[in-house]
Amino acid sequence: MGLRAYIIKRTLYSIALLFLVITLNFAIFMLMPGGPIARLANPSRLRDPVAIEAQMRYFGLLDPPHVRYLRYVQNMLTFQFGYSFRSQAPIVEEIGSRLSTTFTLVITAEVIAIVMGLVFGVIASYKRGRFFDIFSSLVSLITTSLPVFWVGMVLLLIFSYNLHWFPGAHSFPQDWILPGRWPSNFLVELAFRLRHLFLPATTLVIITAGFYLLLTRASMMEVLAEDYLVTAKAKGLSTTKVLFKHAFKNASLPLITQIAISFGFMLSGATVTETVFSYPGLGLWIWQSIEYNDYPALQAIFFLIAICVIIANFIADITYGLVDPRIKYE
């Protein structure tokens, strides 16, 4: 099967998978208890049954299931996600206002963790059994086992509460929201945002870099004993070229899969990290939506996450053949 036929096949498969995700997403949230009325129908808010019925009609909860499903599919495919139960604002606006904040945090931390993990993993595999290999593997096992919230709280305690080097919450100083306080100098704004970004990004790097190191080390160990690497060394190629140009290329397939999955789940943000640091991204928004049973918001974000994961896996499948010519598209 050629590349073009494979792309068509994978595209059709991805479309079918997308509709399956939409159906499961609808069924799961429809069967879950609670909703906006459970929050509103109490003596302090809604007492009148007529008012309760009006609210249910407003959210479309009185329509038959098949009508709600068809409307749901249409809305998902056209990115018309409706209104949030919690804020009653358009969900598209809620997501858009937090998207850049989450991307800044997750992409920054993920890129740093990937680079550190890949480089140190290659070095650890080359120095197998030596001090660097043992030490880096031990540190990686420890950091990947630590709870995310604990790492964040420790960093807050040390660098924010005790040393006062970095702020402990938000993505920018909160007094900027006052009239006339927002800085007009871009460099000043960037400096303050980086200070607010440092602790949550460091938390994510600590948690994820070790995993990439261990995965890179394990992948490299499988190819370092291959005959073509011995031949490359015998031809006089430098150790750096042998490791990074020849060995790493053939050991990169599991890494491509993991990186694709990581970026596919990017929209979910760093839910625990953003909650610990009150970082106003999609992760914190998801947590707040869970607390409030804000099902339309959760349906929308889970749908977008599913799209990102499907696209990321599609790109990874195509990349396999470009990285390793031995792989045939089937």
Say which amino acid occupies 196: H
- Both 199 and 109 in one domain: the answer is yes
- Both 43 and 143 in one domain: the answer is no
- Both 102 and 71 in one domain: the answer is no
Structural domains in the chain (count): 2
- Both 59 and 173 in one domain: the answer is no
Q: Which domain holds residue 95?
A: 91-323
**Mean pLDDT, the chain, as a whole number?**
81
Residue 46 has pLDDT above 60, yes or no: no
Asked if residue 189 belongs to a domain, the reply is yes
Q: Phi and psi (nearest 5°) for 116? A: -60, -45
Residue 81 has pLDDT above 80, yes or no: yes
Answer positive or negative: Cα dihedral of 205, 208, 211, 217.
Answer: negative
16 vs 54: which has the higher pLDDT: 16
Per-residue confidence (pLDDT) for residue 325, from 0 to 100: 60
Asked if residue 283 belongs to a domain, the reply is yes
The tokens for 328 are 């045939």
Specify whether the CB–CB gap between 323 and 249 falls below 8 A: yes
Specify whether the CB–CB gap between 6 and 55 falls below 8 A: no
Q: What is the pLDDT of residues 112-155, one digit of tens each?
A: 999 999 999 888 888 888 898 899 999 999 998 988 889 999 99
Asked if residue 280 belongs to a domain, the reply is yes
Asked if residue 329 belongs to a domain, the reply is no
CATH label of the domain that carries residue 259: 1.10.3720.10
Which one of 17, 49, 77 terminates a domain?
77
Specify whether the CB–CB gap between 124 and 133 falls below 8 A: yes
Residue 52 CA to residue 197 CA, distance in Å, equals: 43
Q: What is the pLDDT of residues 280-315, one digit of tens each?
A: 888 888 888 888 778 888 888 888 888 888 888 888
- Both 122 and 252 in one domain: the answer is yes
- Both 122 and 253 in one domain: the answer is yes
Range in 22-31, 52-61, 234-243, 247-256 with the lowest mean pLDDT: 52-61
The model's confidence at residue 85, banded by pLDDT at 50, 70 and 90, is confident
Q: What is the mean pLDDT of residues 153-176?
A: 86
- Both 36 and 164 in one domain: the answer is no
- Both 155 and 106 in one domain: the answer is yes
Asked if residue 308 belongs to a domain, the reply is yes
Asked if residue 201 belongs to a domain, the reply is yes
Which one of 77, 100, 133 terminates a domain?
77
Residue 121 backbone zone (phi > 0: left; psi -120 to 50: alpha; other: beta): alpha
Asked if residue 48 belongs to a domain, the reply is yes
Specify whether the CB–CB gap between 162 and 153 falls below 8 A: no
Per-residue confidence (pLDDT) for residue 42, from 0 to 100: 53
Using a 10 angstrom Cβ sphere, with 0-12 exposed, 13-18 middle and 19 or more buried, the burial of residue 173 is middle
Per-residue confidence (pLDDT) for residue 171, from 0 to 100: 78
Which one of 50, 77, 104 terminates a domain?
77
Percent of the residues in the chain that have a pLDDT greater than 90, as a whole number: 12
Q: What is the mean pLDDT of residues 93-121?
A: 89
Residue 43 has pLDDT above 50, yes or no: no
- Both 171 and 200 in one domain: the answer is yes
Per-residue confidence (pLDDT) for residue 139, from 0 to 100: 92
Asked if residue 328 belongs to a domain, the reply is no
- Both 68 and 177 in one domain: the answer is no
Specify whether the CB–CB gap between 81 and 299 falls below 8 A: yes
Per-residue confidence (pLDDT) for residue 8, from 0 to 100: 82
Name the residue among 211, 176, 212 with its Cα closest to residue 196: 176
Q: What share of the chain is helix, strand, coil (3-state, %, to 5)?
A: 75, 0, 25
Residue 219 CA to residue 106 CA, distance in Å, equals: 25
- Both 102 and 244 in one domain: the answer is yes
- Both 19 and 99 in one domain: the answer is no
Per-residue confidence (pLDDT) for residue 40, from 0 to 100: 53
Residue 204 CA to residue 305 CA, distance in Å, equals: 19
Residue 177 has pLDDT above 90, yes or no: no
Q: What is the pLDDT of residues 221-276, one digit of tens each?
A: 877 777 777 777 777 777 777 777 777 777 777 888 888 888 777 766 578 888 88
